């Protein structure tokens, strides 16, 4: 199992106060079983980390998607900071190997419990903020969270078609048309290719498992080609 020293090397964050890092991974059940120690659980750090994480994600989305309306930004942020996403981030870095649990919590599978892992991830963000500052939090997010957003891991929460409609009609009242130009693959694993055109000129191509997904990917590509998003 990984220790806190090798973990710091892996994430390239070296704590001045390592006890803060250890606290981020300390569950209340561990503290309850070790009352003679000065250990604190991670609940207060989780509270702080939740707010810091929202800010870190919010400022990235604000800059990355200048054409996205407030409602869509809120929806996208919610899909990134939700429990399921935080668990995936924690799993990617093997957070479960470092969690300090009480014996009872350990025996009932707490180490892999989604809510617990999500809480630890937020607590870790809080600890990084307190020890190294917001810039270091952003550096961490740039390595482990922002690339997933950029790659489209949360595209299910984005409405690129609406963004494209707003972008195109801001400067000119042009007609946008979507067309499924090809279907390929067996019935159980169908793939669709969509073209989006403006004034009969193709501006984006997308591939998806459904027609809707292909059209959204085409709209996303069109926005990238237009310089509306990166």
% of residues, the chain, pLDDT over 70: 98
Write out pLDDT tens, residues 75-90.
Answer: 899 999 999 999 999 9
- How many angstroms separate the CA atoms of 54 and 80, rounded? 9
Q: How, if at all, do strands 176-184 and 201-208 pair?
A: unpaired
31 or 123: whose pLDDT is higher? 123
Angstrom distance (rounded) from CA 68 to CA 63: 10
Confidence of residue 55 (pLDDT cuts 50, 70, 90): very high
Asked if residue 57 has pLDDT above 90, the reply is: yes
Q: How confident is the model at residue 1 (pLDDT cuts 50, 70, 90)?
A: low
The set of catalytic residues is: 50, 122
Tell me: the pLDDT tens digits for 106-155? 888 878 889 999 999 999 999 999 999 999 999 999 999 999 998 878 87
Please tell me the predicted confidence (pLDDT) of residue 228: 77
pLDDT for 171 beyond 90:
no
186: Cβ contacts below 8 Å, ≥ 6 apart: none
Write down the mean pLDDT value for the chain.
90
Confidence category of residue 178, pLDDT binned at 50, 70, 90: very high
Reply yes or no on whether the pLDDT at 214 is more than 70.
yes
The pTM score is 0.74
For each of the domains in the chain, give its residue range(s) and CATH number, in order of start.
4-156 (1.10.1520.10), 160-225 (3.30.160.20)
Query: What are the backbone angles phi and psi of residue 158, rounded to the nearest 5°?
Result: -105, 145
CB atoms within 10 A of CB 30: 20
């Amino acid at each position: 199992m990984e220790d806190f020293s090798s973990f710091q090397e892996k994430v390239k964050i070296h704590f001045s106060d390592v006890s803060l890092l250890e606290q981020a991974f300390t569950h209340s059940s561990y503290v309850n079983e070790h009352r003679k120690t000065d250990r604190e659980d991670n609940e207060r750090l989780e509270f702080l980390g939740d707010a810091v994480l929202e800010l870190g994600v919010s400022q990235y989305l604000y800059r990355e998607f200048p054409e996205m309306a407030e409602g869509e930004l809120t929806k996208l942020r919610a899909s990134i900071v939700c429990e399921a996403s935080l668990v995936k981030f924690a799993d990617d870095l093997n957070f479960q190997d470092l969690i300090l649990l009480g014996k009872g919590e350990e025996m009932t599978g707490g180490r892999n419990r989604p809510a617990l892992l999500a809480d630890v991830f937020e607590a870790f963000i809080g600890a990084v903020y307190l020890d190294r500052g917001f810039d270091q939090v952003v550096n961490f997010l740039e390595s482990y969270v922002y690339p997933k957003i950029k790659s489209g891991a949360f595209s299910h929460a984005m409405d690129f078609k609406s963004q494209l409609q707003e972008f195109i009609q801001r400067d000119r009242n042009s007609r946008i048309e979507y067309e499924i130009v090809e279907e390929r693959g067996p019935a159980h694993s169908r793939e669709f290719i969509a073209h989006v055109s403006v004034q009969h000129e193709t501006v984006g191509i997308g591939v998806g498992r459904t027609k809707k997904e292909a059209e959204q990917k085409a709209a996303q590509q069109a926005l990238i080609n237009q310089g509306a998003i990166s």
